Chains A and B, each alone.
Chain A
Amino acid sequence: MTARKELLLSAAVVVLFAFGPWISPLMHLDVSIVSGVLVIAIAVMSVNLLLGYTGLPAFGNAAYFGLGSYGAALSVKYFQVHFAEAIVIGTVAGLLGGLILAPFLLRRRGIYFGLLSIAFGQVFYFIAYRYTDVTGGEDGMQVPRPLFVLANAHATVSDFGFYYVALAFFVIAVIAFRTIVRSPFGRTLIAIRQNEPRVRYLGLNTDRFIFVALLISSTMAGLSGALSGLLINFAFPLQLDWHQSGYFVLSMILGGAGTVWGSLVGAFIYVIGNDIISTITSWWQIFLGALFVACVLFFPRGILGTLQALGRRAPQAFGDDDDDDHAAFDPHAVPEAGRGV
């Protein structure tokens, strides 16, 4: 896909979503559910940066997501902050979570990193679960959506208004994400995924790159969590649980690891499935699990990744710049250490 074509396609998607509140009723979807898709897509992107591009099994991003949600909810409840401030506080909470965990996570790579992410992520789950006086414990905490205040004017944020807030943040996140992964920094992350020792031999401190990637990822997850908490007016411990992390990873793989738009596709499947199909049939979770198993086994590039691979069957010239989304992730790569062959 040429850069021009991609820009047009991206613009088309954004324009389509700009009419979301009018299109979604035609599909019998509540507009808040489409908001949910956009919000979750940001969290999926945060996993994508670590797993899809840097090759780190980020199985603990729900921790930052939940911190964002609780950060927003707690600040609204106890400090009566307004809408915009709540988003900022939640996002910063996610970033702080990343800062706290980074010293532990940075020491390890591969599945060890994954195991540490899962384990340390659970700390926040149990804090939210146990610290009942403040967080409401297992029941979570219901918080009415705060007012939006600018100078002396203030307004309530309706579901309709929230949709455009979510869309704005989503577009910003996509642009930022795309800029990051195409920058020299992002290229280095991809190089780390492909062969970290080699990057280190080139004289780059890979720990520092991964540290920054981790902070970006946790910030994005925190933003997504803050928006999610404000969208459903609710923060609850399961948002911090490792299952939630798994759902993010699952959405990312389904959509297409290492692709910019795959996160949106994955989030769409997950949110629609979870909010709509699960209310119709109790088989949804089985179906989701089976879909995921099949995806890992048969099309590990995910939906968008597979489509893109089909779309460029002819091998392209080496160094073709338009191609880098796919270069980010090669599921068929041979494991380096040769373990478990």
Chain B
Amino acid sequence: MIEHIGPQLFNGLVLGAFYAIVALGLSLIMNLTGTINMAHGSFMTLAGYLAYTMVLRKVPFGWALILAPLIAVLVGIIVERTLVRPLYKREPFYSLLMTFGLSLMAEEAFRLIWGPNGVPFSPPPALAGAASLGFMQFPTFRIFIVVVLLIAIAALALFLTRTRFGLRLRAAVQDTEMIAALGTNTQVLYAVNFSLGIFLAGIAGVLAGGMLGLSPTSGNALLMPAFVTVIIGGMGSLFGSIVGGLLVGIAISMTTLFIPAASEVSMYVLMAIVLLVRPRGLFGEEGIFG
């Protein structure tokens, strides 16, 4: 049992990185506009299926990993501009309801296009197999996933902290009216911000398709842990989403090892404990979103 802890911990971190990146996308959108994007999982699945189709048509996996999320972003921008935007001036839960409707439509659409059952989507041969990290053997694809997700997170952090646009985005989260009064086109901010969230979801969707399988509901299966991640990390905090994701990943992988039956429930137990001790979540700001 003990010798499994190392690999299982690594698996937990991979899983956690997925949750973190999905939660980051959710948080980005939630922090700026108060929208809980229930269709986030659908965008993941969409990107996954697009990449699957591309790879079938002999597009290299590396290209599919970039192109599929970009197409998902395109769909995302259309959705944001036409459907989500009119709801910004209403109470936030309307966008939650609307995106729930979207996810219902998307799920059925995936079923009609790609079939009701999962499709086999395996990583390219170059990434198959295992690599040695000196002390232990790990599947190459999982190491690749961790590297890609780390790069994505780092790029996001740089974008938000080191560019003017990122600065405006963070300022808008604090006070949208003020940033608009200072001459920033907030509608562009909203669109770009939404796209960023969808792009992260898209990358996660493609990678998760290769690791966890691809089916019409596979994105939604990642959505719930991502919600828990946001709550544990604290709403309003991007850093919290990263920490929360890793915690959830490790909690799940460890309970899978020791008490397999409780693997899904463990993250909710973790969430309950965190909330009892700290109702705002680990890094959440008091007062944000009630």
B76-100 Cβ-contact flags toward A at 8 Å (1 or 0): 0000000100111111111011101
A115 touches B36 (CB 8 A): yes
Residue of B88, B94, B235 contacting most chain A CB atoms (<10 Å): B94
Task: Give the interface SS of chain A, mostly helix, strand, loop or mixed.
Answer: helix
Contact B92 A335 (CB under 8 A): yes
Residue A94 at the B interface, CB < 8 A? no
C-alpha spacing A250/B102, complex, angstroms: 12
The answer to whether A339 touches B90, judged by C-beta atoms less than 8 angstroms apart, is: no
Quick check: which of B126-134, B162-170, B225-233 contacts chain A, the rest being far away? B225-233
Tell me if B153 is interfacial: C-beta within 8 Å of chain A.
Answer: no
Which of A57, A111, A283 has the most chain B CB atoms inside 10 A of its CB? A111
B96 & A111 in contact (Cβ 8 Å cutoff): yes
A123-B265 CB under 8 A given contacts A57-B93, A107-B279, A297-B87: yes
CB of B256, distance to nearest CB on chain A (Å): 12
**Shortest distance in angstroms between B264's beta carbon and chain A's nearest beta carbon?**
4
- A115–B103 CA distance with the chains assembled, in angstroms: 16
Q: Are A108 and B279 in contact, with the CB atoms below 8 A?
A: yes
Q: Which of A57, A284, A333, A340 has the most CB of B within 10 A?
A: A340
Q: What chain B residues lie within 8 Å of A340 (beta carbons)?
A: 32-35, 88-89, 92, 176
Q: How does the 8 Å CB contact mask read for B244-263 relative to A, with 1 for contact and 0 for none?
A: 00000000000000000110
A150 within 8 A of B: no
Residue-by-residue, is B101-114 near A (CB-CB < 8 Å gives 1, otherwise 0)?
Answer: 11111111101100
Contact A285 B96 (CB under 8 A): no
Interchain CA distance A146-B265 in the complex, whole Å: 32
Contact of A122 among B30, B87, B224, B235 (CB under 8 A): B224
CB atoms of A341 and B101 under 8 A apart: no
Contact partner, B96, options A59, A104, A119, Cβ 8 Å: A59
Contact of A250 with B97 at beta-carbon distance under 8 Å, contacts A111-B36, A292-B104, A338-B177 already known: yes
Please give the distance in Å from B238's CB to the nearest CB on chain A. 16
Interface residues of A in 270-311 (CB under 8 A from B): 282-286, 288-293, 296-297, 300
Known: A290-B105, A293-B105. A127 touches B91 (CB 8 A): no
Q: Which residues of B contact A341 (CB under 8 A)?
A: 88-89, 176-177
Q: Which chain B positions have C-beta within 8 A of A185?
A: none
Which stretch from B13-21, B53-61, B268-276 is at the chain A interface? B268-276
Closest to A285 in B: B108
Q: Is B290 interfacial (CB 8 A cutoff)?
A: yes
**A112-B271 Cα distance, complex, nearest whole Å:** 13
Asked if A119 and B268 sit within 8 Å, CB to CB, the answer is: yes
Separation in Å of the A118 CB from the closest CB of chain B? 6
B232 — nearest CB in chain A belongs to which residue? A119
Give the 9 A-B CB pairs with smallest separation, nearest first.
A109-B290, A289-B105, A292-B101, A289-B104, A110-B290, A285-B108, A126-B264, A340-B33, A57-B93
